Amino acid sequence: RQIILDRIQTCNAVSVHVRRGDYVSVQKNKAIFGSCEPEWYKRATAIASDGMADPVFFVFSDDIPWAMQHLELRGTAVWVEPLPGGRDAEDLHLMAACRSHVIANSSFSWWGAWLDSRREARVVAPSRWFSTDALDARDIVPMRWIRL
């Protein structure tokens, strides 16, 4: 992971988190959360990288094959496979090191962006966190983040 971190620190790095897994395979979760669609990622990555020269998108996902097939990224993509054995904190560290963030409606990607201490970091989050109106998500996304 040090090689990935070194690259993040030397480029215009944008973290992109794609949450699928139980959000699409478990009917109960799908009904509550849903998942962000490819068109949303296309618009979100454009906003997150706006004004950046040569952005590099570091894509973190529990379904890299789906992300590779469906995401349209305007720039270089680095596909970051999840680590086995409960080493998720290493990916959070990599995500937080990026200059800009596209997060899914997922606490994992939320933390990846939150742990970036730079006030100028651009974070694009889904405006709709839950797929049901029965749950209130108004206080989940900080005001300085961009809701799309």
pLDDT digits (tens, 9 = 90+) for 82-127: 988 989 999 999 999 999 999 999 999 999 999 999 999 999 999 9
Using H for helix, E for strand and C for coil, what is the string for 42-77? HHHHHHHCCCCCCEEEEEEECCHHHHHHHCCCCCEE
- Beta-bridged to residue 146, according to DSSP, are 124
Q: Which helix (H) or strand (E) holds 59?
A: strand 55-61
pLDDT in tens, 31-52: 666 789 999 999 999 999 999 9
- How far apart are alpha carbons 93 and 112 in whole angstroms? 7
pLDDT, tens digit, for every residue of 48-62? 999 999 999 999 999
What's the CA gap between 102 and 37, in Å, rounded?
Answer: 13
Q: What are phi and psi of 85, to 5 degrees?
A: 75, 35
Residue 25: pLDDT above 90?
no
pLDDT of residue 41: 97
Is-contact 105 19, C-beta < 8 A?
Answer: yes
CA distances from 100 to 11, 21, 23 (A): 11, 24, 24
What is the C-alpha separation between 82 and 122, in angstroms, rounded? 24
Residue 66 above 80 pLDDT?
yes
Contact 118, 25 (CB under 8 A): no
Q: In what order do the strands lie in the sheet with 55-61?
A: 76-80, 55-61, 12-18, 100-102, 122-125, 146-147
pTM across the whole model: 0.93
